[in-house]
């Protein structure tokens, strides 16, 4: 059986781990993601993951708290490490070999980021979880996803969200919002659609790296994307 993609980078938001909770990590969501990722690994797909930290701490929140922006961004990076450890634990409980890689050195819990080693892990069938963003303040986890995806030669970024693609406006607020099945990078910029932050988006555009925005809460979607079905919105 042939698949459309062999190596993918899955971008998850920290908020997606909350489930129905107001903050923190939902055990049900961890199991939900682990089972979906396991389905890809069992088909021989090489999977890297970048996860946000918004369920624990958002760097932007610090602006109202008196915490300096740079300090707040580092706190957000550490939150992504907590999420990475939780996802690693769920995957290993599901029988999947993983490596947690951090852009900020913390040898007791994660490997430092070395590009060639990360690629080797993927080639050996291990799920690679990139944490701590880019390791630098002022960059979001979207930017980290775009950077790592390009560095490891991923064929696509799969951006899991709560909605089933990109719409002309927020479908949760506007019933008349229309969905795009495919859209160009140029059109996204022209319409001011909020797919990723501009740093990440521009990096994908310059390197011809497609982004698929899809509903991660539907169990079948990851499998369908790998099979080449039209799911969500493809930005290319």
pLDDT tens, 167-195?
988 888 888 889 999 999 999 988 888 88
Q: What is the mean pLDDT of the chain?
A: 93
CA distance 109 to 163: 33
Q: What is the pLDDT, as a whole number, of residue 200? A: 93
Q: What are phi and psi of 14, to 5 degrees?
A: -60, -35
Q: Are 78 and 102 in contact (CB under 8 A)?
A: no
* Residue the block writes with tokens 């607020």: 173
CA distance 94 to 86: 13
Q: Are 69 and 77 in contact (CB under 8 A)?
A: no
Q: What are phi and psi of 114, to 5 degrees?
A: -130, 115
Per DSSP (E only), the strands in the chain are 7-12, 46-51, 98-102, 111-112, 127-131, 156-161, 166-167, 179-180, 182-183, 211-215, 233-235
Nearest to 194, CA basis, from 177, 209, 218:
177
With 60 as the cut, is the pLDDT of residue 59 above it?
A: no
User: pLDDT tens across 78-91, in order?
Assistant: 999 999 999 999 99
Percent of the chain with pLDDT over 90: 78
CA distance 116 to 107: 18
CATH topology of domain 7-235: Carbamate kinase (3.40.1160)
With 80 as the cut, is the pLDDT of residue 34 above it?
A: yes
CA distance 144 to 64: 24
Q: What is the pTM of this model?
A: 0.94
């Amino acid at each position: 059986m042939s698949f459309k993609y062999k190596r993918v980078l899955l971008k998850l938001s920290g908020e997606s781990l909350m489930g129905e909770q107001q903050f923190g990590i939902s055990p049900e969501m961890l199991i939900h993601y682990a089972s979906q990722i396991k389905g890809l690994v069992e088909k021989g797909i090489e999977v890297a993951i970048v996860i946000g930290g918004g369920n624990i701490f958002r760097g932007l929140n610090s602006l109202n708290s008196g915490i300096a922006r740079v300090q707040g961004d580092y706190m957000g990076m550490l939150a992504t490490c907590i999420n990475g450890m939780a996802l690693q634990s769920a995957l290993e409980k599901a029988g999947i070999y993983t490596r947690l890689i951090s852009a900020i050195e913390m040898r007791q819990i994660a490997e430092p980021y070395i590009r060639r080693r990360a690629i080797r892990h993927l080639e050996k069938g291990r799920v690679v979880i990139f944490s701590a963003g880019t390791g630098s303040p002022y960059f979001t986890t979207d930017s980290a996803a775009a950077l790592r995806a390009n560095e490891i030669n991923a064929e696509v970024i799969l951006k899991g969200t709560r909605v089933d693609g990109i719409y002309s406006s927020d479908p949760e607020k506007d019933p008349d919002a229309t969905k795009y099945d495919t859209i160009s990078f140029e059109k996204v910029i022209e319409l001011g659609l909020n797919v990723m932050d501009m740093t990440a988006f521009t990096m994908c555009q310059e390197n011809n790296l497609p982004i698929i925005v899809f509903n991660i809460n539907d169990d079948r979607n990851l499998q369908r994307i790998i099979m080449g079905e039209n799911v969500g919105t493809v930005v290319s």
